[in-house]
């Protein structure tokens, strides 16, 4: 399943990056992320690994992730290594005085979560949650 969402934020790219760079603070703007616990000594950059307790509707899982791309202040890529596998990427693109924030995910659900059928059914729900997350991020950044 592939999902892409984006939003334009009225702030420079460096300012948006400062808010997304501390991975442990993603719980402030991601409604589906309940907690983040680092599993490596690193907390920034490539090689940083963490467990994120994720809650969507009646489903709760611990998403094991590792940062596989770190290009400050332009891109952050992660690999999902838990029950749901795949890759995700945040891209920040300067747009006038603001920033275009794009969030892409390519995820694979296990058979017991319905596999490709489960992913098909989850896609509109996840897209709506992630759009809401980006609106929350926008509100936080623009309110600073």
Check residue 113 and give its pLDDT: 85
**Overall domain count for the chain:** 1
DSSP at 136: H
Check residue 1 and give its pLDDT: 95
Least Cα distance to 107 among 129, 86, 77, 123 occurs for 86
Check residue 58 and give its pLDDT: 84
Let me know: does 8 contact 131? Beta carbons within 8 Å: no
CATH number at residue 15: 3.30.530.20
Integer distance in angstroms from the first to the last C-alpha of the chain?
35
**Sheet with strand 98-108: strands edge to edge:** 2-9, 98-108, 85-95, 75-81, 59-71, 49-56, 33-38
pTM of the model: 0.93
Domain with 78, as residue range(s), is: 2-142
Mean pLDDT by 10 residues, the chain (144 residues): 98 97 97 97 97 89 96 98 95 96 96 90 94 98 90
């Amino acid at each position: 399943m592939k999902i892409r969402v984006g939003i334009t934020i009225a702030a420079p790219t460096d300012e948006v990056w400062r808010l997304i760079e501390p991975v442990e603070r993603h719980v402030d703007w991601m409604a589906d992320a309940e907690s983040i616990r680092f599993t490596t000594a690193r907390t920034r950059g490539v090689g940083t690994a963490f467990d994120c307790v994720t809650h969507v509707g009646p489903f709760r899982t611990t998403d094991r992730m590792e940062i596989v791309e770190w290009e400050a202040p332009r891109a952050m890529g992660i690999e999902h290594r838990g029950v749901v596998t795949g890759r995700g990427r945040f891209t920040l693109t300067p747009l006038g005085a603001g920033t275009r924030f794009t969030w892409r995910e390519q995820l694979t659900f296990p058979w017991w979560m319905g596999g490709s059928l489960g992913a098909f059914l989850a896609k509109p729900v996840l897209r709506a949650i992630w759009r809401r997350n980006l609106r929350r991020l926008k509100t936080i950044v623009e309110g600073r």
